[in-house]
Every structure is written in structure tokens, then in C-alpha cells.
Structure 1
Amino acid sequence: MSADPSEPARLVLRNARVVTPTGALDRGHVLVAGGTITAVGAGDGPADGTVVDLAGATVLPGFVDMHTHGGGGATYTTGDADEARRAAAFHLAHGTTTTLASLVTAPPELMLAATRAYQPLVADGTLAGLHYEGPYLSAARCGAQNPAYLRDPDLDELAALLDIGGVRMVTVAPERAGALDAIRYLVGRGVVAAVGHTDASYEQTLAAVEAGATAGTHVCNGMRPIHHREPGPIVALLRSPSVTCEFIADGHHLHDAMLSFAASAAGTDRAALVTDAMAAAGMSDGAYELGGQAVTVLDGVARLAEGGSIAGSTLTMDAAVRRAVGAGLPLADVARMAATTPARTIGLTDRGALAAGLRADLVVLDDDLAVRRVMRGGEWQ
């Protein structure tokens, strides 16, 4: 029987280890048509369609990075749309099929200009939206955020930014004046409120969660550390069943044992791998800039030239996946952390897993979990 010309062409990806939401199929197949996954199953699947033999490679859902500032020598933090496209393309080549552009603490006019500049990129799907990491952060835990522009939450400022569109997440330190009102406002506008860069107590953090915060920004980093008499924000976030906890799996922000422990404490349905990458990701050591501050990268670690605070990372999501697996986390759990959990957290229910009916975003990895091919929306990149 000849193919129905009204039906989209079918792609049959076979002879692969396919990591599904329920586990790994050692020899499985994925069917793709019209940019959508139509079936996932054991064995080689049907022979009708364009068959691609993956020769035993591993297939994971396309990675979803809900926290990144740039990469490949380009940054999201300045509002330059051309640079943003370059950064997104760089991370796409490393398996990140969905990304939020994370801005850093900046003057109101720069945040407004950048938000406007990125609307076409949100509209065409280059970016899934924006994340404001700042300016409503703690001066005591600001890390590489520019302290000159830190400020208390302002609902009028937030309204002006959100009215432009495209904002999916905002990080807030709950101890700042007006923070809880800001969290309630964000949630009411359909924006994810995250807790981060905070010196809050355990109780203050739980108040933020009660107000509606559902994410923790790079948990353990930029936060008051755990103390046995004052658990602080880390324990509060790890213990809150409604909160997704971000983790930067580069071996510098978190010791591998801490990564494994924290991911286990939260559970992989509440743990999300993020890069927190800046422009130096994929580039050589040297001098860079982040949020108007000079950054020096040495041996792949980015730090402020003055003060030495870690200034984002040079991580890519495929490297984060390898690190998490190397830390002892099962690959199926890591796939959830790299795709399923972050997609759900930022409200993208059409992607994030290898399952029928979802967008055909996937990453083909070799035996060393290095990227061989990337598919986004059913198209090889």
C-alpha cells in the first residue's frame, strides 16, 4: 500500500538504548512524524518510513536548561539578540533543545530593553523564555551578581517587565522587603518564583514556599550554608515537596557526593540539572565579562577578577549529564533531571521525555555519553 501523501513522513529511529520515563529499553525504537514522537517501544519497530539505525547509541530526551547566561563566546545578559541566537545555537549543539535566557542583576532600563529585544526569539522558539536572576537578591549572598544594582522587589517594575511577555521565572531572596508579596504577584501572573542568592533562615524560606515559590536557584550555591541549629534555605528547599531544586553538576559548584546526596534528598522528580553557563562555556581560558563585572576563567572555572567569587560556569548540559552519572546517579534518573523535571517546572508540558505525543526533542549519545546527534522538533540539527 502506498503512503498517504496527507500524512507526515515517518522517521523510525531503531537499534538504540532508549531512556523512557519508566526506564531504559536496551534495544528500542522511537517513531517520529510531523515533529512529534508518535511511539516508543522495545525492538526495532516498523520498517515503513525512513529508517535510521543508531547502532546501539543511547537516546535521551532533549535537555532543558532553565538557567543559563550564555555560551560559545556569546551572552544573554546584555540584551543583544544576535548574541542570544549564537548562545542558544551553541547549547543546542550540546543537546539543549530548550533553554531559558537568564539575565543577571542590572539597572531597570537594561532589563526592560533585554526583555523587549528577546521577544522575537521567544516567538520563534529560539528561547523558551526569560529568567531574571536578580535584582531582588541578598547583598550578603550575591556572589557574582553586581551589588550596585541589587534592590528590593518592586511590583510596578515587575508589572512593566511581565507585561512585555516571555518571562518564565524570577529568582527572589525571601528576606528582602516585599519579597513575599512579589512571589505572590509572580505566581498570580503565571511566572515561576524561585528562591536564590539568599541569606534567609529556614523559616523565611518556608514562608516563601508557602507564598508560592516552586524552585530553588542553584541550590547550595549563593545560599546560607546548612548549620545543625539553623538549617537555612538549603534544607528548607530540599524538604519542600512543591519545590524543584536546581543543581550545577560541574564538580566545582558542588562536590559529586553533595550532588548525589542532594538529588537523592529531593528526589529526581524535584531535582533539575542546570548549567548556569556564561559566555566562556566552550571557550578557552581568559578574560570575560558578566553583568558589567570582569571575570577570569582559569582551568575552566569562571571567577570574578575582584573577590574571586564563582561567576557562573563553563558547563554544558551534556557534560552535566556525564558528571551526574559519574557521581553514581542512574541514567534514567539523570534524564529526568536534565529534561523532564525542568520542563515541568517551567510549564512546558509538550516536551521533556521520550513519550508518544510529546515534541520530538532528543539527543543521541555514544558509549561515553558524548553527543552524536541532536533532534529538535523532529528535525536533525
Structure 2
Amino acid sequence: MSVARQEISGNVLTPQGFIRGKLTVVDGRVSGIEGQPISEGQARVSGEPLILPGFIDLHVHGGGGFDTMEGGNAVAEIARVHARHGTTSMLATTMTAPMADISRAMAALADAVRTHRRGGAHVMGVHLEGPYINPGALGAQPDFARPASVAEVKALHELAPIRLITMAPELPGNLDLIAPLRAAGFHVQIGHTAGTYEDGVAALQRGATGFTHLFNAMSKFHHREPGIAGAALAHAEFAEIIPDLLHVHPGAIRAALRAIPCLYCVTDSTAAAGMPDGDYNLGSHRVTKCLGGVRLADGTLAGSTLTMDQALRNLVGMGLSLDDASRRVATNAADFLGLADRGRLFVGGRADIVVLDAALHLTQVIVEGDPIDLTDV
């Protein structure tokens, strides 16, 4: 149960800009924002706390040594780890696997999705990353790609609520499934694909709404063969990107920022996030964390160790304003899923809040009015 009333003083980032004053929380909602408008420059140099909307991560495989495919209490532990890094809402993301394994994982995810546990991020649902992907563009996904069907997706959805599906549009039948999946309420992203530019455009025309970890595990941009990456740069309103500065060069991130209005950040984090170097599970794969990255034995990048607070710092370090960086780690992801109650701080909205110091390190995290214990971060 959330704390009945809280007041947080500092520089509050609202949709209209920064306000120097205080934010009040009552019963898990923002009940008031009072103060005087100030510039971002003034907010950054004042030394007062910076109060931003909580981060939203739509692509989370693990953290703290736990993997979403494990079942049991794994997702609750993952949500706890990521909350301590500022993520207040997230999608638990599955791996490509035999359908029996996906079904078992989905059944285990249901409790975490339907019953929010205090101390962790709100698990809004599932991002089904595969198995409806191209076996020639697996990236770090295990080789269990399979044909898609609306009936199969709906059966999985009965086990745990699916919010987002990654698909390769060039596979036989997949393009024709996008419209019925959208009509059934699922968001569809283009990813793990060897498709052409034309395949990407056709998928958007059928109702696909985004791209999974832009530039990674998709056909590359070439000026005579633009590929799926070119379709995203030319036509996308939304796409996710991993800003760990390892998966995507800062120059490519800048290109995407110029081209895609609502580009948003994800971690694609694995069990290795928040853990020391060593070996960890990623679905049925064994991966190794070393030198800040996570890789398969052959050197292929296999998810990340990124957390959303570091994503924010990376963006600001690249030269983005704090306001713009906040949109990339919170607001745009909320808008992508059509969530009007979070991703921004306003009276009546969810009290999902992060408080940072001048160096952009977390000092407080609040999930729907509940303070998160940061003592072990």
C-alpha cells in the first residue's frame, strides 16, 4: 500500500518544462506541482534535486542474475533490480525457444504481471521477442524460430498479457498477420529480420508500429539497398534503441534521433545486469559478461548490462538536453503503448518518479507512490 502523502522539493520536469518548487503525492498519484518555471540550465546548476518521470523499459530479459525464461520468482526479482535503477514500468521479454518452454515461462510471468509486488517496477506485460523471427537473423536468439499464427499468440496471451510482439515481416504469412494482431490489441514491432526496405514499408502499412533494437539483428542500411534499417529511418515514428554505446555507435544514435521523432531507449538487459563479470543464462544460451558487454561464445553481442539510469546519463553525455533524454527513457515508450497515465509528471498521473542529483545519479525512486530501497545499489 502506497504512502498516503509525500512532498518532494526540487526542480520538477513537467511536460511544460522545469518548475522549481515541490511535487505532492497522495495515494499513489501526483496531486500537485507547485513552483516557478525555470530553464533547464538553471535547474541543472542549482544543486537542487532533479525530479523526473520514472523510466519505462519495454525490453527486459533479466537482471541481478535472473532470466525471464526461468519461471518461478525470477521476474519479481528482475523488477526489483531494475526499480533500483529508476525503471518504474517494464515489459518482461521472452526469448525464442520451443513453444513448451515459452508457455512455461509465460505461465510463470502471469503472477508478476497481474499482481504488482512492492519494491519493484510495475511489470505491465510481456514483450514476445520471437519465436516469429527470421532464423537467418537470430542475433543472440536460440535457433527455435517458427511460423506465426494469431491463434497461437492468443493462446499465449491467455497465459500472461502480451503487450508487444517482435516479428520478421518477410517470412511467409507474417505480413498478413500484422493487421489481425493489431486488431486483437497487440503492438507489433519489426525485428530479427533479413527483410528488404520494401518489406519494412509494407509491414508499417499493415499496422506495425515500431522496430526492435534499431540497427541490431536487421538488414543494414546501404544507399542502394536501404534494408529494414533504412525503412525505419525513412518512415518510423517509433523505434527502440539500446544506448549502451556498444550496440550502436553514438553517430548512428544521432542519425536515428534526427530521423525518428519518437525514438525511445531500452536496455535489452540480461541476467548479467547489476552483476559482476561471469557466466549467466539468456534463455537456453550461456553468455559471458566481460568488459561491460554480454556475448555468446562466438563473440556475438547477447543483450546488455545496461540500466535505464545509465541510459539517461549516456544520452546527456552525447549532448541531449535532460528534457529530451527524459522523453527517450520515459515519455516516448509510454506513448508507444498508449499509456497516458505515466511517462510524464502531471497532476492526476501515476506517481512514478525518479529523483537525481546534479551528476544524474539516483537519490530516490518511487513506483506508484511506493519508495524503492536504494541502499544496495
Using the size of structure 2 for normalisation, the TM-score is 0.91
- Deviation, 1:164, is 2.8
- Classify the secondary structure of the residue corresponding to 1:340: helix
1:124-135 matched pairs, under 5 angstroms = 124-125=115-116, 126-135=122-131
1:222-237 matched pairs, under 5 angstroms = 222-237=217-232
Corresponding residue to 2:18 among 19, 24, 27 = 24
Matched, 1:163 2:158: yes
- Classify the secondary structure of the residue corresponding to 2:233: helix
Rounded Cα–Cα distance in structure 1 between residues aligned with 2:82 and 2:34: 29
- Deviation, 1:9, is 4.6
Corresponding residue to 1:138 among 134, 137, 149 = 134
Matched, 1:58 2:50: yes
Check conservation: 1:153, 1:177, Cα contact below 8 A: no
Unmatched 5+ stretches in structure 1:
1-7, 45-53
- Deviation, 1:271, is 1.0
Check conservation: 1:259, 1:327, Cα contact below 8 A: no
Q: Letter of the 1:348 partner, please give it.
A: L
- Classify the secondary structure of the residue corresponding to 1:32: strand
Unmatched 5+ stretches in structure 2:
38-45, 117-121, 373-377
Identical aligned residues as a percent: 41
- Deviation, 1:296, is 1.4
**What residue in structure 2 maps to residue 50 of structure 1?**
none
C-alpha deviations, 1:47-83, integer Å up to 9, x for none? xxxxxxx9701111000000010111111123x1311
C-alpha deviations, 1:92-112, integer Å up to 9, x for none? 000000010000101111111
**What residue in structure 2 maps to residue 297 of structure 1?**
289
Rounded Cα–Cα distance in structure 2 between residues aligned with 1:371 and 1:263: 25
- Classify the secondary structure of the residue corresponding to 1:208: helix
Paired residue total: 357
Matched, 1:85 2:80: no
1:270-309 matched pairs, under 5 angstroms = 270-305=262-297, 307-309=298-300
1:1-381 matched pairs, under 5 angstroms = 9-14=4-9, 16-25=10-19, 27-43=20-36, 56-78=48-70, 80-125=71-116, 126-147=122-143, 149-241=144-236, 243-267=237-261, 270-305=262-297, 307-381=298-372
Check conservation: 1:248, 1:254, Cα contact below 8 A: yes
- Classify the secondary structure of the residue corresponding to 1:272: strand
Rounded Cα–Cα distance in structure 2 between residues aligned with 1:379 and 1:295: 34
C-alpha deviations, 1:205-262, integer Å up to 9, x for none? 0111111111110101111110001111112123325x41101010100112221221
C-alpha deviations, 1:10-40, integer Å up to 9, x for none? 42222x1222223233x23212111111222
Moved over 4 A (4+): none
Rounded Cα–Cα distance in structure 1 between residues aligned with 2:183 and 2:73: 32
- Deviation, 1:143, is 0.5
C-alpha deviations, 1:287-323, integer Å up to 9, x for none? 1221211211111210111x22100000000000100
- Classify the secondary structure of the residue corresponding to 2:94: strand
Rounded Cα–Cα distance in structure 1 between residues aligned with 2:162 and 2:367: 22
Rounded Cα–Cα distance in structure 1 between residues aligned with 2:18 and 2:243: 22
Rounded Cα–Cα distance in structure 1 between residues aligned with 2:280 and 2:344: 35
Q: Letter of the 1:262 partner, please give it.
A: A
